[in-house]
Amino acid sequence: MRSLQALQFHSQCTQDAVTEPPRSMSGLSLVVPCFNEIEGIETLRTQLEDLRRRCSGHFDLDVILVDDGSNDRTADELPRVFESLPWVTVILHDRNCGVAAAILTGIKASRQEYVASMDADCTYAPIQLLQLWECMDSETSMVTASPYHPEGRVEGVPAWRLALSKSASRVYRTVTGSSIHTFTSCFRIYRRRDFDGLQLKNQGFVGIAEMFWWIKKQGGSIREAPATLTTRKTGFSKMRTVPVIWAHLQLIQRIAWERFFDATNKCG
């Protein structure tokens, strides 16, 4: 049996100190940020094994699990549960940095040119990754799962949580000038090189929208794939509602100012 080594990344490495590995176009890396997900680890393994089987013939899939400074037993259990799977790597943050920071760590650690991310709670069925992959091409910087797309679906998500997410996406759609329907989904595929130089100001949930704005600001192409979002079956949400709302408002204001000054400079 293979011994799965958990790589220790210090929190400051989430931004710019991760050694850049050689890149390949031969497959797709899937980054799964994990924070206090002890109850769902076995389910996550089952889902990822099924996903990899069903991806066969489409692309080679490897998985990067990033434990984001969990204070339960997640950091100990991830290497044990996934020890026998040679296509899985476990990375440990030495403290909790936030979901966007964990995703960025995985993107920087990947050896593939295309990198996906998904929630550890599998609220998006992992098999939907194939739908996202069909939307990715050489001209696209990012594909995002979109439950708020006219053809998307939401099942069982609490009304208050859904209202908050939909409201944020509507505002982002206006302030960014984008036609995309969903801005807060962690379920995405990224073209890795388009994130070179990104320094996240929001490392938590709001960083997901900031990553979208980074690509939009660089002139990258963003596409969405209709998807189904469900409620989590294990564990609990780690989102702190009031700080997240405040951080969204700050990012929205920043985007508005950046677009205003960009338009002013072009006119000048």
Binned at pLDDT 50, 70 and 90, residue 58 comes out as confident
Find out if CATH 3.90.550.10 is the number for domain 6-267: yes
Asked whether the beta carbons of 187 and 117 are under 8 A apart, the reply is: yes
- The three-state secondary structure class of 102 is helix
Q: Is the pLDDT of residue 20 over 50?
A: no
Place of tokens 């080679």: 60
- Give the rounded distance of the alpha carbon of 110 from its chain centre: 13
Angle at 121 (CA atoms; ends 88, 103), nearest 5 degrees = 55
Structure tokens at 60: 């080679």
pTM score, whole prediction: 0.87
DSSP string covering 222-241: EEEEE-EEE--SSS-----H
Predicted local confidence at residue 23, as pLDDT: 39
pLDDT tens sequence across 89-112: 999 999 999 999 999 999 999 999
Q: For every residue of 191-204, which 3-state class applies, written as one string?
A: EHHHHCCCCCCCCC
* In the chain, where the domains are located: 6-267
